[in-house]
Amino acid sequence: MSIVVDIVLFTLLGAAGFALLKVRNLFAVVMLAGIYSLLSAGLFTVMDAVDVAFTEAAVGAGISTVLFLGALALAGHHENRPGHTPLLPLIVVVVTGGALVYGTMDMPGFGHPGNPVHHHVADHYLEESYDEIGIPNVVTSVLASYRGYDTMGETTVVFAAAVGVMLLLSGARRPRSRGGGGGETAGEGEGA
Amino acid sequence: MREEIIIRVGAKFLAPFIIMFALYVHFHGDYSPGGGFQAGVILAAAFALLALVYGLEAVQKVLPLRFTRMCAALGVLIFAGVGVVTMLLGHNYLGYNALAPDPTHPEHGQHYGILLVELGVLVTVFGVMVTVFYHFAGRGRGDS
């Protein structure tokens, strides 16, 4: 049963990916990107990574679709045809993809219980976390306690991203006001 | 969209449930998938929905840009502050065992620590998402 779900999800994922490349209407592209994220979330669920699936569904399919729509309202709905031939990018992508596929040859089998990734610190987390942390969801214990520093770094990164967006977008509010003075006064007015 | 009665009523009806679900995802993160990050995104989505239907100005009356910007910084402060508190209590930075009320069961402190730092993540992610949304949605209009 799981294999059927896998095949269906991957087929739809591939179809959504190709449609994303072909469609020139950006509104449709945004919707397809949301569908792509939702399908990825489904795949993560099949792989038992429910926390990742949850994040993908909330961020990828949810809030980023809304943000893309907000960007579309500013940028227009149609993508212009590229001025160059797609030959060189195609070669680059094929070579890079081939190298990546070649790289996976040396990787241990997917999901094999003897893989090194499952035996570095994972054993300790899975066996001891209930005694040490006392909560059933190991993902939360790893995220917030064992790897608390990393999570704090991530939170800081999210904050820094917002600062970047604010710096970029809250300057010149009106698209026509190109002058530095006009942009600054608009920014000050908004910040006050 | 703002004249559609079904969308207006639907959004108003859904928003409290979305907010409730976000809080559930946060406080139940110890037991089920989810945590502060997802909760923050869902909470932000509730306000994005309201802003899409009722307009940016209506939502910014309830949730001003200044407040969401403050949230973005406050969350990081909560997270880092928990670390400082545990240090002041004589443990390592972010050593949540310091927060246990009963020293014979230090692992109980992990509950409080995790809940607090996840709250910090929630507040930051919520503030950041709403702030970014405000900036995208409010740009190109004269003022907002």
Token pair for residue A57? 């569904």
Phi and psi torsions of A174, nearest 5°: -90, 130
Contact call for A162 and B65, based on CB within 8 A: no
Q: What confidence score (pLDDT) does residue A180 get?
A: 44
Residue A167 exposure: Cα atoms within 13 Å on the Cβ side? 6
Confidence of residue B143 (pLDDT cuts 50, 70, 90): very low
pLDDT in tens, B71-88: 999 999 999 999 999 899
Please report residues of B whose CB lies closer than 8 A to that of A73.
137, 140
Q: What confidence score (pLDDT) does residue B141 get?
A: 59
Please report residues of A whose CB lies closer than 8 A to that of B29.
137, 140
Tens-digit pLDDT profile for chain A (192 aa)? Answer: 788 998 999 999 999 999 998 888 889 999 999 999 999 999 999 988 888 999 999 998 889 998 888 888 877 778 777 777 888 989 999 999 999 999 988 888 777 888 887 788 888 888 888 888 878 888 888 888 888 899 999 999 999 998 998 888 876 555 554 444 444 444 444 333
The 3-state DSSP class for residue A78 equals strand
How many CB atoms neighbour CB A89 within 10 A? 11
Selected residue with higher pLDDT from B8 and A171: B8
Look at residue B52 and tell me whether its pLDDT is greater than 50.
Answer: yes
Pick from A66, A131, A151: CB nearest B133 = A66
